[in-house]
A and B are shown apart, each in its own frame.
Chain A
Amino acid sequence: IVLTQSPATLSLSPGERATLSCRASQTVTTYLAWYQQKPGQAPRLLIYDTSKRATGIPARFSGSGSGTDFTLTISSLEPEDFAVYYCHQRSNWPTFGQGTRLDIK
């Protein structure tokens, strides 16, 4: 399953709302996750099973979607949220999207 994320880069200001998209080439029947990665760090799990927040993840992060279209929303950006975000599916062999870079405007 190929995951395509959009946009490639998103430039926003702190306090704004961010909406990141992940589209799958086939239906994702189970297990769509989102990760955050900052420079020089390993990815960090944010969302699993489409909409469930991982341990310690703030409530401003939310996930939604079904089938082939999924969304990660950050309701009000904090300075530490500017990073690269990846979606990931586990319906069959694991694959990742190519990432969305969230930049400070």
Chain B
Amino acid sequence: QVQLVQSGPEVKKPGSSVKVSCQASGGTFNNYGFSWVRQAPGQGLEWMGGIFPIFGSVFYAQNFQGRVTISADESTSTAYMELRSLRSDDAAVYYCARERGDLGAFDIWGQGTLVSVSS
């Protein structure tokens, strides 16, 4: 059974960076895309960007261009998302999600990582 296991909650100061990991277990890592989606408290879902390890392709949402880096380590089946220059409105739950090209949808999600930003 495929699972995505994310790293634990983070507390960060404004202006700092956070790096969240997402390890896939029980399946083939390279055959899929992995996206990062965030959800601010009481709000909806916002796609930040994604990576397709087999193609070496990375895509970012315009809102996060220049501030986010998404990467993957195939040897450990782990995807990463680093967000820099954190602001108070970056406080959110960050999810990784597996994208299946044949479904055009995110079929498996990580449990979410809470990132708090406070001085």
Binding site for B on A (CB under 8 A): 30-31, 33, 35, 42-45, 48-49, 52, 54, 86, 88, 90, 93-99
- With A96-B45, A97-B44 in contact, do A42 and B110 touch (Cβ < 8 Å)? yes
| B26 within 8 A of partner (CB) | no
- State the majority secondary structure of interface residues on B: strand
Among residues of B, the one whose C-beta sits closest to the C-beta of A54 is B107
Residues of A with C-beta under 8 A to B44 = 86, 96-99
Q: Is the CB of A93 within 8 A of B47?
A: yes
> Is A48 touching B104 in the complex (CB atoms < 8 A)?
yes
Q: How large is the interface on B (under 10, 10 to 19, 20 to 34, 35 or more residues)?
A: 20 to 34
Whether A43 contacts B109 by the Cβ 8 Å rule is yes
Could you say which residues of chain B place their CB within 8 Å of the CB of A99? Answer: 44-45
Contacts known (A42-B95, A43-B45, A86-B45); A94 close to B35, Cβ less than 8 A: yes
Contact B105 A90 (CB under 8 A): yes
A residues less than 8 Å from B59 (CB atoms):
93
Cβ-closest chain B residue relative to A97: B44
Max chain A CB contacts within 10 Å: which of B47, B62, B105?
Answer: B105
Among A42, A48, A93, A95, point to the contact of B105 (Cβ < 8 A): A48
B62 / chain A contacts, CB cutoff of 8 Å = 93
Q: Is the CB of B107 within 8 A of A88?
A: no
Quote the shortest CB–CB distance from B30 to chain A (angstroms).
20
Interface membership of B53, Cβ < 8 A: no
Chain B contacts with A in 26-59, Cβ cutoff 8 A: 35, 37, 44-47, 50, 59
* Contact (Cβ within 8 A) A48 B47: no
In addition to A45-B103, A90-B105, 10 A-B residue pairs with Cβ atoms within 8 Å of each other are: A31-B105, A33-B104, A33-B105, A35-B106, A42-B109, A42-B112, A45-B107, A88-B45, A90-B104, A96-B45
Q: In the complex, what's the smallest C-beta–C-beta distance from A44 to chain B, in angstroms?
A: 7
A31 in contact with B104 (CB, 8 Å): yes
